[in-house]
Amino acid sequence: MLSDWTLWLEWFIKSVIVILALLTGFAYLTWYERRALARIQARIGPNRAGPQGLLQPIADAVKLIFKEELTPAKADKVLFFWAPVVTMVPSIILAAVIPWGTSFTMFGREIQLHLADINVGVLYVMSIASIAVYGIVLAGWSSNNKYAMLGGLRSSAQMISYELTLGLSFVTSIILANSMRLRDIVDAQAGMWFAVVQPVGALIFWIATLAEVNRAPFDMPEAEQELTAGYHSEYSGMKFALFFMAEYQKMIVICMIAATLYFGGYREFGFLKDTIFSVDYTWALGSWQITNWFLGPIYLFLKVVVLLFGMIWVRASWPRVRYDRLMAFGWKILLPLSLAIAFITAAGILLSDLYDNRLYFWAIPVLSILAGLFTVAMIYRELRRKAYERA
Amino acid sequence: MSVLDPFVELLRGLGTTFKMMLEKPVTYQYPEQKREVRPRFRGRHVLKRYEDGLEKCIGCSLCAAACPADAIFVEASENTDEKRFSPGERYASTYEINMLRCIYCGYCEDACPTEAIVLGDNYELSFYDRRSAIYTKESLLEPVPTVDMTTPRKVEAGVFTRSVPEMKDPQD
């Protein structure tokens, strides 16, 4: 099979498409974020370079390429050079397992809109997402700068803490789909998104991803008031651009994963099932049979845009949390809650299978929302207690 | 206060920012769209003329004396009825302001006995070198009201004897 050169060609083309999509996605995400933030702050944002400022990313890239690259004299030169690469590569290869559509037939072969359909896709996502932290820690350490070091350490501590929560919210989705293959997870959401079955799980996943990609309000590793720019303080020019790229590509990819796990991936919205807007709908034009495969990437794109807007919106709204509270929130609130959510989901599935009663299945959202409310109440109590002690 | 406050307050924060998105941006698209300056704005200086076209500046150098940044240089020469620039005996043959030194405090405006130098509303000053930051009399002087009112000009003898005109209190 590996000697089949057309297969290699197919893989090559699909890889190029994924990488190009991520690179342009990164460029236009910066534009999107700047425009959205500007609108929230009653400004206009970049609108000079090209129509509506659409050429701004290119102008930024040209600027960064021509900037001088500095290497601190006491930096560890080798690690300092490789750290941006180590950060950048996982953020791209993370996208390899994400399905972006069904399949279509071309030149007599079925082409899956999927780069690598591995059966432990979720596990792959988890492991690659964790590798990215190495780049940040190494960057912080090799810069030989206190602030960079602290930023790198914060980043690693934060990622380790929130990875547990993230993993448990992956588990919830895996249990619901009964598979670790991302395509199966998407197909299991044909009728209904997992965000409907498990809203609290989706919310926890969302919070954990914010911490995982170091976005506000969890952007402690690069808190500019405290650490200048955190782990990339000493970086300039294209090396800095690589960190920037990695961060934004991780945002895109993590939004794709969130869409895949909880919001139906490349599938249509639940209520559009069995209509002509479904990705499974087949047009029969005489002898031609065309499925709606092209709708898959469009739906995924729309979902990613909406989720990214959520990230930008949160950044514009909420202040950065203090570091000890970040840790307390991760370990004392999110982790128990996500454990409870995973347990409730597992128990609900088990009981509904055991007694063949859908009532148990619908107990999952109800119970998990109750668990979420209980958590919020506990936070409230704790805040009241602290306020009382301070007074 | 309710038990759900920790959650509800976060959502209210999101709501506030979303409402802001629907508001009109306050940005001025600067080079195309300019904002009117305030009535007392202090921009680039202008050397004023009387309605008959004669220069108000009499070359007294009080502005240069008042200038805390020492940005103004004035050199005076004698007026004659054959070549008259301004009423009275003298006029400024050289008047230079170094715009890189000027701090736009407006003391020159206060010191001027004839209201000749006024800080205008032009704030778009830029130069390619230090030499061109020194504005000369030609660039500071406002244009003549009509073409025939140029200075210097030949006037009847004995008309323009008073260098400082009768003045009212300044109106803004």
String of DSSP letters for A204-265: HHHHHHHHHTT-TTS-GGG-HHHHTTGGGTT--HHHHHHHHHHHHHHHHHHHHHHHHHHS-T
Taking only the tens place, the pLDDT of each residue in A279-327 is: 767 777 766 777 777 777 888 888 899 999 988 898 888 888 888 888 8
Residue with the two structure tokens 């970049």: A46
Kindly list the residues from chain B whose CB atom is less than 8 angstroms away from the CB atom of residue A317.
13-14, 16-17
B84 has which bridge partners?
Answer: B153
Determine the distance in angstroms separating the CA of B123 from the nearest CA of chain A, rounded to an integer.
Answer: 22
Band of pLDDT at residue B98, cut at 50, 70 and 90: very high
- Which one of B8, B19, B21 makes the best mutation probe of the A interface by having the most chain A beta carbons within 10 Å? B21
Kindly list the residues from chain A whose CB atom is less than 8 angstroms away from the CB atom of residue B4.
373, 376-377, 380
Q: Please name which of A363, A169, A162, A351 lies closest in space to residue A258, comparing C-alpha atoms.
A: A169
Band of pLDDT at residue A270, cut at 50, 70 and 90: low
Q: Do A318 and B10 touch (CB under 8 A)?
A: yes
Band of pLDDT at residue B111, cut at 50, 70 and 90: very high
Which three-class secondary structure state does DSSP give residue A321?
A: coil
pLDDT, average across residues A345-373: 84
pLDDT, average across residues B108-130: 89
- Residue B31 near chain A (CB below 8 Å): no
Structure tokens at A223: 């808190």
Domain ranges of chain B: 45-149
Q: What confidence score (pLDDT) does residue B97 get?
A: 92
CA B98 to CA B73: how far, in whole Å?
Answer: 8
pLDDT, average across residues A90-111: 79
Residues B118 and B48: beta-carbon distance below 8 Å: yes
φ, ψ for residue B96, nearest 5 deg: -130, 140
Burial (CB count within 10 angstroms: exposed 0-12, middle 13-18, buried 19+), residue A72: middle
Taking only the tens place, the pLDDT of each residue in A131-190 is: 888 888 888 888 888 888 888 888 888 888 888 888 888 888 888 888 888 888 888 887
CA A287 to CA A272: how far, in whole Å?
Answer: 26
- Which one of B3, B19, B26, B33 makes the best mutation probe of the A interface by having the most chain A beta carbons within 10 Å? B3
Q: Please name which of A227, A228, A233, A221 lies closest in space to residue A71, comparing C-alpha atoms.
A: A233
User: Helix A237-262 crosses helix A56-65 at what angle (to 10 degrees)?
Assistant: 140
B153 has which bridge partners?
Answer: B84
Which three-class secondary structure state does DSSP give residue B141?
A: strand
- Which one of B17, B19, B26, B33 makes the best mutation probe of the A interface by having the most chain A beta carbons within 10 Å? B17
Band of pLDDT at residue A2, cut at 50, 70 and 90: low
Most confident of A171-185, A359-373, B57-71: B57-71
- Residue B23 near chain A (CB below 8 Å): yes
Structure tokens at A66: 């021509």
Ramachandran quadrant class, B94 (left: phi over 0; alpha: psi -120 to 50; beta: rest): beta
| First-to-final CA distance of chain A | 73
Q: What confidence score (pLDDT) does residue A43 get?
A: 87
Q: Do A313 and B18 touch (CB under 8 A)?
A: yes
Q: What confidence score (pLDDT) does residue A47 get?
A: 85
Band of pLDDT at residue B30, cut at 50, 70 and 90: confident
ipTM, interface predicted TM-score of the complex? 0.71
CATH of B45-149, one of 3.30.2350.10, 3.30.497.10, 3.20.20.80, 3.30.70.3270: 3.30.70.3270
Closest CB to B23 among A42, A379, A380: A42
Taking only the tens place, the pLDDT of each residue in A254-263 is: 888 888 888 8
Q: Do A318 and B3 touch (CB under 8 A)?
A: no
Q: What percent of chain A has pLDDT over 90?
A: 1
CA A226 to CA A221: how far, in whole Å?
Answer: 10
Q: What confidence score (pLDDT) does residue B1 get?
A: 58
The pTM (predicted TM-score) of the whole model is: 0.80
Whether residue A106 has pLDDT greater than 80: no
Residue with the two structure tokens 């088990």: A350
Q: What confidence score (pLDDT) does residue B172 get?
A: 66
Closest CB to B26 among A42, A316, A383: A42
Helices marked H in A263-294: none
- Residue B39 near chain A (CB below 8 Å): no
- When the pLDDT of each residue in chain A is averaged and rounded to a whole number, the result is 83
All residues at 6 or more sequence positions from B31 whose CB lies less than 8 Å from its CB, including other chains: none
Say how many CB pairs under 8 Å bridge A and B: 46
Most confident of A106-115, A356-365, B25-34: B25-34
Taking only the tens place, the pLDDT of each residue in A10-33 is: 888 888 988 888 888 888 898 999
Ramachandran quadrant class, B122 (left: phi over 0; alpha: psi -120 to 50; beta: rest): beta
A-contacting residues in B 98-137 (Cβ below 8 Å)? none
Closest CB to B17 among A316, A373, A383: A316
Band of pLDDT at residue A223, cut at 50, 70 and 90: low
Neighbouring CB atoms inside 10 A of A360's CB total 17
Q: What percent of chain A has pLDDT over 70?
A: 94
Determine the distance in angstroms separating the CA of B9 from the nearest CA of chain A, rounded to an integer.
Answer: 11
Beta strands in chain A (DSSP E): 103-106, 109-112, 282-285, 288-291
Determine the distance in angstroms separating the CA of A364 from the nearest CA of chain B, rounded to an integer.
Answer: 21
A99-108, A190-199, A329-338: range with lowest mean pLDDT: A99-108
Band of pLDDT at residue B103, cut at 50, 70 and 90: very high
Kindly list the residues from chain B whose CB atom is less than 8 angstroms away from the CB atom of residue A380.
3-6
Kindly list the residues from chain B whose CB atom is less than 8 angstroms away from the CB atom of residue A46.
none
Determine the distance in angstroms separating the CA of A131 from the nearest CA of chain B, rounded to an integer.
Answer: 32
Q: Higher-confidence residue: A122 or A102?
A: A122
Q: Do A40 and B21 touch (CB under 8 A)?
A: yes
